[in-house]
């Protein structure tokens, strides 16, 4: 199905992003996967290309681009032609906006320019051992000591955990309130801030995921982000966009899996004919083509609504739920159509299948998405 939401300027931008992914990212994918981390230089090159924090005001070095479609294009081309473990979107569109939205002018001047260039890489630390998605259960604490906060605790499963120079850390500042949480920007090199191992994962091998430990870290008052004790609500601010951007990537991964499988089944023969000639294959591909087009149409509509400021939290949850579940089904079906070859890492579909499994977990699990959607239609157990 033809997509109608993009203009000529968008397509020109897509060509430049695709070229960047093919020339600067593709040659490094195998090495990044083997070493378990993306080169820092990749962020610098993305910054030179103008792909980081595109929304940032020109006075901070950004392009001041507010049209979310450009972010969607970067996500799609990264997924189709780059490396899914290169978390540009986390840096640019998940973490960066917290500084822009809740930061003071001094903080923006201090941090945003180097985030735009890729000199400073961003991460956000919410998840703790045993808490999962339950932000109200955060135990990392920050005590007000007058001219600074004293930060103690630990975080886990932190994306960009090894590379990050600036980490937004959620910590409890009001022990008497479940939502008494504040956000702090912890900088590389602060005494008492330590990183654990680069964690081994099922997929996204090139994406550095780490533990973090805070042992009496003195965080200056100037590094408090936003209103004190309202960090819980600040964290809710970016969830809608995170889920929409994730959905755009999930659908793009479906499309990539479909295309490489279409090529494979036309070339691979069994019993004297191409695999594509079997009715089972044709019906499987027909089903996937239909579902991918439906998902793409819904995500595109959500992008338009987001640009207009009308996208609802439940529609973002629907996009995230459906696209992540679809991605898992599509990569599974496509691997099956590859037969034994699909189980071999030398075939891209094998890595895509492993990468897809996290999609139903991060940015809110499928179960949480279903809860949000159920409550939006009046099925709220709290009101019984």
Give 234-270 pLDDT, tens digit per residue: 988 888 999 999 999 999 999 999 999 999 999 998 8
Query: What pLDDT shows up at residue 134?
Result: 67
Question: What is the average per-residue pLDDT within 95-114?
Answer: 97
CATH number for 147: 2.40.110.10
What is the C-alpha to C-alpha distance for residues 229 and 153, in angstroms, rounded to an integer? 17
Query: What pLDDT shows up at residue 179?
Result: 83
Question: What is the average per-residue pLDDT within 133-144?
Answer: 84
Catalytic residues: 242
Residue 180 and residue 224 in one domain: yes
CATH number for 344: 1.20.140.10
- Total domains, the chain: 3
Query: What pLDDT shows up at residue 131?
Result: 72
Residue 101 and residue 220 in one domain: no
Residue 258 and residue 340 in one domain: yes
Residue 65 and residue 165 in one domain: no
Residue 100 and residue 172 in one domain: no
Place of tokens 């931008």: 13
Q: For residue 383, is pLDDT > 80? A: no
What's the chain look like in SS3?
CCCCCCCHHHHHHHHHHHHHHHHHHHHHHHHHHHHCCCCHHHHHHHHHCCCCCCCCCHHHCCCCCCCHHHHHHHHHHHHHHCCCCCCHHHHHHHHHHHHHHHCCHHHHHHHHHHHHHCCCCEEEECCCCCCCCCHHHCCCEEEECCCEEEEEEEEEEEECCCCCCEEEEEEECCCCCCCCEEEEEEECCCCCEEEEEECCCCCCCCCCEEEEEEEEEEEEHHHEECCCCEHHHHHHHCHHHHHHHHHHHHHHHHHHHHHHHHHHHHHCEECCEEHHHCHHHHHHHHHHHHHHHHHHHHHHHHHHHHHHCCCCHHHHHHHHHHHHHHHHHHHHHHHHHHHHHHHCCCCHHHHHHHHHHHHHCCCCCHHHHHHHHHHHCCCCHHHC
Length of the chain (residues): 384
As given in the structure block, the two tokens for residue 313 are: 């939290």
Question: What is the average per-residue pLDDT within 219-243?
Answer: 92
Domain span including residue 161: 123-229
Residue 66 and residue 14 in one domain: yes
Query: What pLDDT shows up at residue 17?
Result: 98
Q: What percent of the chain has pLDDT over 70?
A: 99
What is the C-alpha to C-alpha distance for residues 334 and 331, in angstroms, rounded to an integer? 5
Query: What pLDDT shows up at residue 384?
Result: 61
| Beta bridge partner(s), residue 171 | 182
**pTM confidence score:** 0.94
Domain boundary among 207, 229, 251: 229
Residue 252 and residue 225 in one domain: no
Place of tokens 């430990």: 213
Residue 70 in contact with residue 10, Cβ under 8 Å?
Answer: yes
């Amino acid at each position: 199905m033809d997509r109608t939401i993009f203009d000529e300027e968008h397509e020109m931008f897509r060509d430049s992003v695709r070229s960047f992914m093919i020339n600067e990212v593709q040659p490094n994918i195998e090495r990044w996967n083997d070493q378990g981390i993306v080169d820092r230089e990749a962020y610098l090159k993305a910054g030179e290309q103008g792909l980081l924090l595109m929304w940032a005001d020109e006075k901070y070095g950004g392009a001041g681009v507010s049209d979310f479609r450009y972010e969607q294009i970067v996500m799609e081309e990264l997924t189709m032609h780059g490396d899914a473990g290169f978390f540009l979107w986390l840096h640019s569109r998940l973490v960066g906006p917290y500084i822009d939205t809740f930061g003071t002018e001094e903080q923006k001047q201090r941090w945003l320019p180097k985030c735009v260039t890729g000199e400073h890489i961003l991460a956000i630390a919410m998840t703790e051992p045993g808490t999962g998605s339950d932000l109200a259960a955060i135990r990392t604490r920050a005590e007000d000591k007058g001219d600074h906060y004293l930060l103690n605790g630990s975080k886990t499963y932190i994306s960009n955990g090894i590379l990050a120079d600036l980490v937004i850390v959620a910590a409890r500042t009001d022990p008497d309130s479940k939502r008494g949480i504040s956000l702090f920007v912890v900088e590389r090199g602060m005494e008492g801030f330590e990183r654990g191992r680069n964690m081994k994962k099922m997929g996204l091998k090139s994406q550095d995921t780490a533990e973090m430990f805070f042992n009496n870290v003195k965080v200056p008052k100037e590094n408090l982000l936003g209103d004190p004790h309202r960090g819980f609500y600040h964290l809710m601010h970016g969830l809608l966009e995170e889920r929409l951007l994730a959905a755009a990537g999930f659908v793009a991964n479906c499309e990539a899996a479909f295309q490489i499988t279409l090529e494979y089944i036309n070339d691979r023969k069994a019993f004297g004919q191409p695999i594509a000639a079997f009715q089972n294959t044709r019906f499987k591909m027909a089903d996937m083509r239909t579902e991918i087009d439906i998902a793409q149409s819904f995500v595109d509509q959500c992008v338009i609504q987001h640009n207009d400021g009308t996208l609802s939290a439940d529609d973002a949850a629907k996009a995230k739920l459906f696209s992540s579940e679809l991605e898992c089904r599509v990569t599974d079906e496509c691997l099956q159509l590859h037969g034994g070859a699909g189980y071999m890492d030398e075939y891209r579909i094998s890595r895509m299948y492993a990468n897809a499994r996290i999609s139903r977990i991060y940015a809110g699990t499928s179960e949480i998405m279903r809860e949000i959607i159920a409550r939006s239609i009046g099925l709220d157990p709290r009101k019984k």
